[in-house]
Structure 1
Amino acid sequence: MRFGQVTVVQVNGDGPEDVLVDGEGRVYTGVADGRIIRTSDDGRRIEVVADTGGRPLGIEFYGDDLLVCDARAGLLLVNPADGAVRVLATEALGKPFVFCNNAAVAADGTIFFTDSTERFGIDKWRDDLIESETGGRLIRRTPDGEMTLVTDGLQFANGVALPPDESFVAVAETGACRVRKVSLPDGAVTDLVPDLPAFPDNISTGSDGLIWITQTSPKVPALDLVRKLPAPLRLAVRRLPLWLQPAPGREVGVLAVDADGTVVHELRGEIDGFHMLTGVRERDGKLYCGSLEDRTIAITTVPS
């Protein structure tokens, strides 16, 4: 189904990559200069909540605080009342984070989060996709601070979500165009959605209990060709100006699946003034979408 009416809301920063919505309909997001901002859903009021000094990406509620995955500063807790930023972790299992990206929070305060790659940071995310690296990992942090590996070997580990019953954790593999399902507590890994037509980014569990998956861009045939080249030629492509490298398309989308991976809702199309849809949040029948590169948030309704 194509997107219906979409409201595009301007924000005062580049790349509101993920979105989080509170009970008053206010949208929290992080932008490229390190600020966490809070905006009304019409964009008329924008407040600075905090400044991480890094590049905030995934954002979740954690009690009265905000849990922030910052690609440069690590796993953070932000107090939205006074702007205080506390670092929870910058490494896990003997490895520093290279690209802390997205998270989901269980009812008991356990955090499941991704470190997207062991080789390329956020400024080189295109390089990771070209090289088809499998250095992404999904990590568990218990409320007492213990870190354990949930699974690794992921191609650009990205969005994370838990179903309402917390029987598994879903994790998006951007490089493989799929969403994996890791059963809890046994850790068995299967596919939730095995072959997406587009690159997934952040995912989230909606108020409807469905898992919502972003579709950042349709698959790029030129990227598939580049991935098959010998290593020296792949490196040559990575060194090209961005406008000569394989590029994302303008079409974006979202889909919602149930715990079995059955698609319940799907929306796609081009949105004027908005592309690179990387964050999605469903709340009470409305969809809020973030972008890695624009200065806008897109808001629409769930199809009936």
Structure 2
Amino acid sequence: MDRTSAAAHPTALVPRRLVPLGGRGPEDVVADHRGGVLTGLEDGRIVRVERPGDADRAGVRVLAETGGRPLGLELLPDNALLVCDAERGLLRIGLDDGVVRVLADTVAGRPLRFCSNVVALADGTVLFTVSSRNYPLAHWIGDLVEHTGTGRLLRLAPGGKEPEVLLDGLQFANGLAVAGDESFLVVAETGACRLTRYWLTGPRQGRGETFLDDLPGQPDNLWRAPGGPIWVALAGPRVGALELLHRRGPAVRRTAARIAVRAPFRPPRTTGVLAVDDEGRVLHHLEGRRSRFRMVTSACESDGRLVLGSIWEPGLAVCDLPGTPG
């Protein structure tokens, strides 16, 4: 299915089962090789959901506590977990003992805040995003309204102490995914409704370019299994009034942002997920118009199901993968 037909004819995104977690805000979800799903909650806990698709045998186990607000996660081969903590920076957690170690909490001498999503390469290089340098997580909507363009892509070399800035000026940098051959990285720009490619190897190494533009919603976290597509969570639909506001001057946007961070917020009931390949083709577009599970911020495959996370909800949603019986 090409990009145009997939976007024009989305299939239904219907939660078949909700998995309560005893805490709110499972912002990112990552699957492990044993059929479980790891996620972080707003109270700082990292939990593993055992067999989320099995109503009779599902369970939730606490693995560690970050002492902050965990967002993006990345499992490592040595049974450790990388965590982007919005308050504490880039962390590494040993899943055998629950020990939390800070890998980086400053960039160029300034505190590392609003660390968002992370991936690791085969050589141990860690790449991660910072969504905003002007707004904290609690006021994330202010950055989307003001359209600050202060998001960053950072790299931490193996054994390194200080991250290096690879890309700056991103519109709310968010999820990350690596190409199957590790030749490039895909970065979600939530505030621009696009995916950006950063070349890691080859003649264009070190360059950024548009990978997939004009998405049907605001992309959040990205996830892929080996050999599988990149799953793109769409945290919300496109908002015409917001896009018109982005064309106004900085003073107008700044004023609107001050209002937005004080106004009550409730996510719309339109949710979405895309699956894209390394050529930038949309393989699947799933959409829910009156969803009981709001603000999908992550998606991963686990045990033959599509598992959704949300910074808003108190649990996970389990859906059918495209092409499987409902």
TM-score class, shorter-chain normalisation, is over 0.9
Is the 8 Å Cα contact of residues 220 and 248 (structure 1) preserved in structure 2? no
For 2:70, the aligned partner's letter is: P
Matches within 5 A, 1:155-166: 155-166=171-182
Query: Does the 8 A contact of 1:109 with 1:143 survive in 2?
Result: yes
TM-score by length of 1: 0.93
Residues 243, 118 of structure 1: CA spacing in aligned structure 2 closer, same or farther, 3 A cutoff? closer
Alignment of 1:13-52 (within 5 A): 13-40=23-50, 41=52, 42=54, 44-52=58-66
User: Is the Cα contact below 8 Å between 2:143 and 2:257 reproduced in 1?
Assistant: no
Residue of structure 2 equivalent to 1:141: 156
Q: 1:5 to 1:228 in 2, by over 3 A?
A: closer
Q: Does 1:130 align with 2:132?
A: no
Structure 2 match to 1:201: 220
Query: SS of the counterpart of 1:192?
Result: strand
Q: Percent identity?
A: 42
Alignment of 1:219-238 (within 5 A): 219-229=238-248, 231-238=250-257
Q: Tell me how far apart the structure 1 counterparts of residues 198 and 102 of structure 2 sit (CA, whole Å).
A: 27
Cα 1:106–1:283 change in 2 (3 A) is: farther
Moved more, 171-180 or 95-104: 95-104
1:241 CA displacement: 6.9
Q: 1:274 aligns with which of 293, 301, 305?
A: 293
- State the match for 1:117 in structure 2: 132
| Bigger Cα displacement from structure 2, 183-192 vs 99-108 | 183-192
Which 10-residue stretch deviates more, 265-274 or 67-76?
265-274
Q: After TM superposition, give the deviation of residue 7 of structure 1 in Å.
A: 1.9
Higher relative contact order (Cα pairs below 8 Å, separated by 6+ residues)? 2
State the partner residue of 2:321: 302
1:116 CA drift (Å): 1.0
Q: What's the counterpart of residue 75 of structure 1?
A: 90
* Equivalent AA in structure 2 for residue 98 of structure 1: R
Tell me whether 1:213 sits opposite 2:232 in the alignment.
yes
**TM-aligned CA deviation for residue 78 of structure 1:** 0.9
TM superposition score normalised by structure 2: 0.87
d(CA) in 1 for partners of 2:262, 2:290: 21
Match of 1:11 among 21, 43, 46: 21
Paired residues of 2:185 and 2:198 also in contact (CA < 8 A): yes
The question of 1:175 aligning with 2:191 is answered yes
1:57 equivalent to 2:76? Answer no
Alignment counterpart, residue 99 of structure 2, candidates 80, 84, 87: 84
Structure 1 pair 229/188, CA: closer, same or farther in 2 (3 Å)?
closer
Alpha-carbon shift at residue 79 of structure 1 (Å): 1.5
| Equivalent residues of 2:221, 2:233 under 8 A apart | yes
Measured against aligned partners, the alpha-carbon deviations of 1:191-239 in whole angstroms (never above 9, x if no partner) come to: 1111111000001122443111111110122323443455555444334
Which structure 1 segments of 5+ residues have no match?
none
CA 1:283–1:187 in structure 2 vs 1: closer, same or farther (change >3 Å)?
A: farther
8 Å contact 2:80–2:93 — kept in the other structure? yes
Mark the CA change 1:5 to 1:11 in structure 2 (over 3 Å): closer, same or farther. closer
Task: Decide whether the 8 Å contact of 1:251 with 1:268 is kept in 2.
Answer: yes
CA shift, 1:299, in A, is 1.5
224-233 vs 290-299, which deviates more? Answer: 224-233
Structure 2 residue identity aligned to 1:203: L
The answer as to whether partners of 2:180 and 2:227 remain within 8 angstroms in 1 is no
Q: Distance in 1 between matches of 2:99 and 2:234?
A: 33
Give ranges in structure 2 of 5+ residues lacking alignment. Answer: 1-10
| C-alpha contact (below 8 Å) 2:269/2:292 kept by paired residues | no
- The farther-off stretch of 65-74 and 103-112 is 103-112
| 1:273 shift after superposition | 3.5
Alignment-derived partner of residue 117 in structure 2: 102
- Specify the alignment match of 2:284 in structure 1: 265
SS in 2 for 1:48: strand
